[in-house]
Amino acid sequence: MDKQNTEMTAQDVLEFIQLMSQNNIEMWVDGGWAVDALLGSQTRPHDDLDIAVRHRNAGRIQALLAARGYAEIERDDSWLCNFVMGDSLGHCIDIHSFEFDDEGNCIFGVRYPADALKGSGTIDGKPVQCITADWLVQFHTGYTVDENDYRDIKALCDQFGLELPKEYESFQKSDKETKK
């Protein structure tokens, strides 16, 4: 299934969240939509929806999406606990799964700290669970960042009084030069 450049709109995201809720699957919004949820408004178009879920629900999510015409999109970085499902229209759900032990330690899958799953925000005025601002900032480090990363992380840092990571200093210098 080829990925097209279809935007995942707020309505698409809310419909997916409703599907998860109707099937008693707890999930947290991650990535760009989590940034916008924390900020309380959509700041840019998104080509996918990143979610965090307990691994025990990943198969159910795959089945629910397959029933709606989604199939797994092969990617070099896909693995058991991080894969993308897409439909023929180009809508994509990037699924990150994990499991915790009784003490809240991640024992399997994507290494989410339990504290990362305590965020809340809104998408199109509707409350959603999401990754916290401080963890979103941390998760957006350690790789080559782009302009979207910079805008997202700068907005979170400004809104929540967080320090901008060093990876983003070159973008900040560029901003200052543009304003001269």
Q: Is the pTM of this model over 0.95?
A: no
What integer pLDDT is reported at residue 170 of this predicted model?
87
Backbone angles phi, psi at 168, to 5 degrees: -100, 0
- Asked if 95 and 82 count as a contact pair (C-beta separation under 8 A), the reply is yes
Task: Categorize the per-residue pLDDT at 175 as very low, low, confident or very high, splitting at 50, 70 and 90.
Answer: low
**pLDDT tens readout for residues 68-116:** 999 999 998 889 999 999 999 999 999 999 999 999 999 999 999 999 9
What integer pLDDT is reported at residue 173 of this predicted model?
67
Q: What is the mean pLDDT of residues 12-33?
A: 97
pLDDT higher than 60, residue 153:
yes
pLDDT higher than 60, residue 3:
no
Q: Which residues contact 81 (CB under 8 A, 6 or more apart)?
A: 55, 58, 96, 97, 98, 108, 109, 110
Task: Categorize the per-residue pLDDT at 174 as very low, low, confident or very high, splitting at 50, 70 and 90.
Answer: low
Domain ranges for the chain: 10-133, 140-180
Closest CA to 121 of 9, 28, 7, 22: 28
Give percent of the chain with pLDDT exceeding 90: 84
Domain 10-133: state its class.
Answer: alpha beta
Cα–Cα distance for residue pair 168/45, rounded to 1 Å: 21
The mean predicted confidence, pLDDT, of the chain is: 92
**pLDDT tens readout for residues 120-148:** 999 999 999 999 999 999 999 989 999 99
Closest CA to 33 of 65, 62, 58, 9: 9
What integer pLDDT is reported at residue 172 of this predicted model?
75
Task: Categorize the per-residue pLDDT at 1 as very low, low, confident or very high, splitting at 50, 70 and 90.
Answer: very low
